[in-house]
Amino acid sequence: MNVRAQNNYYESPQKPSYLVKSPNTAILDKFGDYDVSLFSGVPNISIPLYTIKSGGLEIPISLVYHASGIRIYDYPSWVGSGWALDVGGNVSRQLVGLPDEIPTYGYLSGATRKSLDLDPYQTTSGASADYNYLVRLNKGEVDFGADIYSYNLPGMSGKFYFDTDSSFSPVLIPYSPVKIERLNIPGLGFRVFDQGGNQFSFYDTEVSSFWRGDDYGGRTDFYTSSWVLNSIVSATKLDTISFSYSSQSNNGPYERSDTWVVDDYIDNIDIPSGGCTTADGFTGYTYSSDYSSTFSQSTTFSKDINEINFKNGRVVFILDSLVRQDFGATNSNMALAAIKVYEKGYNVAERLIRTINLHHSYFISGTNANSKRLRLDSITINGSDGLVSSKYKLEYNTSSSLPAAYVNTSANASTAKDLWGYYNGSNSQTTIPGRTIDVKPTLVGGSTTQVTIGTTGAREPNESYAQAGILKRIYFPTGGFTDFEYELNRYKDDNDNMKLAGGLRVKSISSYTGLGSDPVVKKYKYGEGESGYGRANFFIADYFFYDEQKCKYYYNEMHCATNDQPAFISSGPILSATKRRRNYFSNPTVGVSGTDGIPVVYSTVTEYIYDNVNSKSNGKTVYQFRDAVDHFYGFSGSLAFVVSNAINRGQLLKKTIYKNSGSSSFQKVQETENVYNATSLDGLQGRFGGLLLHKNNVTENVYDITMGYWPPTETIASDDWTYYNIYYETDDNYLTRTITRNYDELDEGVYLSDTVSFEYNNIIHQQPSIITYSNSNGEPIKVYNKYPADYIQPGSSYTGNGILDSLLSYNMQTSVVEKWKTIKHGALEFTTAGFVNKYQQLPNDKIVLKEQDRLKVQEGNTSFIQSHINSGSLEIDPNYEAKVHYGNYDEYANPTQVNIDGDIPETILWGYRGEYPVAKIVGATYNEVEPYLDQEILDFPANDGVLLNHLNAIRSSLPATHVSAYTFSPLTGMTSETAPNGRAIYFWYDNIGRLSIVVDNEGKL
């Protein structure tokens, strides 16, 4: 077996180039090259619209489609059913009980108590407070757990909660060096720093309705369901992108849920007789079986993006002039009609460079207006000249239609939905899954009978109806198109039977370059050995659909008639009667879509690439993924809670590529294995998340306990309550090792292997501290990295060095301070290269590089000294020598002079408000150039000619220098590049900013 190096993870410091590379023609609108999230089976479908670039910040704007299916009661977004506009970011939350921030009774007020702190079964007044606490908790008046928050940033996402045992500091899931600050503004808001130090602020809120308990039975209230992104500030403080929003509100359609209540096991223990009655006339429990329906409607006040402002432009989002007609209702909501991109002018008005138009209609079943759902039909992109340059057209499955849903009335709410909420065509009169139960009307004596409740099969998925309204084809601007074929998810139940689950998975993707072309077809086979099924990512059992309690009736007084005069006989409370109460529900008490929204997961998926011309597979790729089951708390239907373990599933474990070797056999070509989990996080495991409660006994006709009272001794039973602590867990899921094997064509037993390992030695920054791989001789090579957090002093949270502590305060965890490389010969490890970055803080607090020192390598160096802090100073190995110097910075913190030791000076001039380098001047310092410089012209050029004339004047004033000049259209790209000898290249773009022509100064292509 041969071993060879695969990657070089060490890059020697060179003189940095701040020049924008000449643009090359890129393929825009590639047809049908869609990835698939194979672990879930859902294809990643997106249409890129525009990317905002401002300094080091990038904000992609795109339309994304979730192809898992359309639920009956999904309210379409403002861009269309199934689609979402992906721009910026947000913080949303999963409500656990009440909103955390509610005064007095919310989790952040310290209202949620632990099980060991409770002793409700004593008869002292102190214990009564515990009993009363459980009563209030059961009513929904007190928060029972920490909400789970999800943050979404460009290129990064995760979850967090506030930990009661650490003064409500945030704990991230998975662990990440992201820094989260809670803002009290009032209410709740967030400031998030990514690991590079970029700052994201969230304080405008979206509001949704929820049910809240009180002393009067409960009420609908409103809470903040998400926080939208208001601004991004770069780590260097050079660039800011701000977001503004408009408000819209909507009432969702009424959704029906049913309850079947069965009272049996009647035991009328001490019912008065012989003319005696209780004070309230109670005559005993009786057997009953009752059915009822309730209807819920959600109300949401949303924040829809209105405008994005950045240094060189703005993006405006325009609403339709007509209100939407979803579900036949008249409301104030409007769809997104267009997106306009403006380039900010320089001494001239701003210029419209792109308009993206969204064209809508409605899904509708026949002529029933109540079945209308907003549909995105096409997207057209107009250029700066107003002409259409690109068009996407969309087609959907209309072989069946989603049923009507009603916003203004609950009378006709559909029952034709599976357990996951997707349409299944059922005509059942109830939404309760069918079952037959044993009923015994009386506890003593009497016989047991059977009663059927619900409708068998009424909540099962239907493969045809579940695809109503799903996206099936996209036409691209190139003339190509892609077809999507779907099927229902499948899993095996506890009896080893294959079962259908709600939601779709992709079956095949066929991509065509144009009409009549031969497609490239990808087909997907799910499960180990292509069995077709995955693992149910949910807990399902009959007992999740019902709750059982024991009802007790107490009477306080008994009266007997004597000579028509009531006579007082006894006082209570005295247990009079008991019964069993079972409540059967439409929906299980734990979700069936998985805590990560994935109902079924597939740890093994095989992808085939088919050649339709020759009717055969060209090859296949087998993917294997990590999987982990969620944590379940509880023992009965209503006493159940699921804590997500999603951070430990879905990562690629192995990818094996095969080629077709003929006769339906496949030969292994390449295999890649990955290993995860970098750091032990025992200190963050099993943190208290809340108190799970179930009321076992319902005590009737006794004063309902409120704060300051406790029940009479006779009514307290040690089994009145069952309660458990629930615990949240976190972990990291960083890649720690990758092994790649390339197999010999003649013998699969012979292969070349590459191994790369990553060690994470500091949980604060969680960056690779050591990267190990091998060279072509099999000798181990290690690359070491040190970051600001690696210099924190023992027993402290500071380094003692002002610059490094400033980097940490800005959460600039990824800023490399030192990097060096070693190679191991036998038992000795030799240092072969290294460099140190030295930073400085400008008067405006911006942190920039001051210089880079390079290690002067001596042969056989085995005594390298790592950099360290001594009395607040950064001390480095004596063999380092200063190499790259950053002499000056402009007001935007761009370097204006960069030198390598021994080289002639080089000056960089920046323009367009510090966004682009417009000149490189070799042979002069910035101080020598500055007298000839008019920064106003560089920042606000009227046109390219004005800027070039000014740069030519500088060239003439400094004849001994070599001047290269550059001009830009700020939101498009470089427009010209002029070499020191005066030869120029010009770049022309089409009406939406795609490079179209490149010519020199003689007009030659």
Q: Cα–Cα–Cα angle for 264, 266, 270, nearest 5°?
A: 165
CA-based max dimension of the chain? 130
Which residue shows structure tokens 């691209």?
476
Q: Which tens digit of pLDDT belongs to each residue from 657-698?
A: 999 887 778 999 999 999 998 666 655 567 899 999 988 888
Compute, in degrees rounded to 10, the torsion defined by CA atoms 755, 756, 762, 763. -80
Integer angstrom CA distances of residue 230 from 240, 320, 885: 11, 23, 37
Local confidence band at 273 (pLDDT 50, 70, 90 cut-offs): low
pLDDT surpassing 90 at residue 929: yes
pLDDT surpassing 80 at residue 279: no
Local confidence band at 211 (pLDDT 50, 70, 90 cut-offs): low
Q: What is the pLDDT of residue 499?
A: 95
Q: Which tens digit of pLDDT belongs to each residue from 858-910?
A: 777 788 999 999 999 999 999 999 889 998 899 888 999 988 877 888 999 99
- The DSSP secondary structure of 42-62, one letter per residue, reads EEEEEEEEEEEEETTEEEEEE
Beta bridge partners of 410: none
Q: Cα–Cα–Cα angle for 89, 92, 96, nearest 5°?
A: 165
Q: What is the pLDDT of residue 707?
A: 35
Q: Where are the domains of the chain?
A: 1-30+760-887, 255-296+425-458+541-587, 904-1005
End-to-end alpha carbon distance in the chain: 51
pLDDT surpassing 70 at residue 12: no
Q: Which tens digit of pLDDT belongs to each residue from 766-800?
A: 999 999 999 888 889 999 999 999 999 999 999 99
Q: Which tens digit of pLDDT belongs to each residue from 337-359?
A: 999 999 987 666 788 999 999 99
Integer angstrom CA distances of residue 481 from 41, 391, 507, 510: 21, 12, 17, 8
Local confidence band at 125 (pLDDT 50, 70, 90 cut-offs): low
Looking at residues 738-766, what average pLDDT do you find?
A: 92
Contacts of 752 (CB under 8 A, 6+ apart): 1, 2, 3, 4, 741, 742
**In a 3-state reduction of DSSP, which class is residue 177?**
coil
Higher-scoring residue by pLDDT: 922, 124? 922
* Percent of the chain topping pLDDT 90: 57
- Distance from C-alpha of 270 to C-alpha of 437, rounded to nearest angstrom: 29
Contact in structure between 99 and 125 (CB atoms under 8 Å)? no
Q: What is the pLDDT of residue 22?
A: 31
Q: What is the pLDDT of residue 82?
A: 94
Higher-scoring residue by pLDDT: 529, 611? 529
Q: Which tens digit of pLDDT belongs to each residue from 164-196?
A: 999 999 999 998 999 999 988 777 899 999 999
* Percent of the chain topping pLDDT 70: 88
- By the 10 Å C-beta count (0-12 exposed, 13-18 middle, 19+ buried), 21 is classed as exposed
Local confidence band at 17 (pLDDT 50, 70, 90 cut-offs): very low
Does an H or E element contain 953, and which?
A: helix 944-957
Q: What is the pLDDT of residue 152?
A: 92
Contact in structure between 188 and 203 (CB atoms under 8 Å)? no
- The DSSP secondary structure of 402-413, one letter per residue, reads PPP--SS-STT-
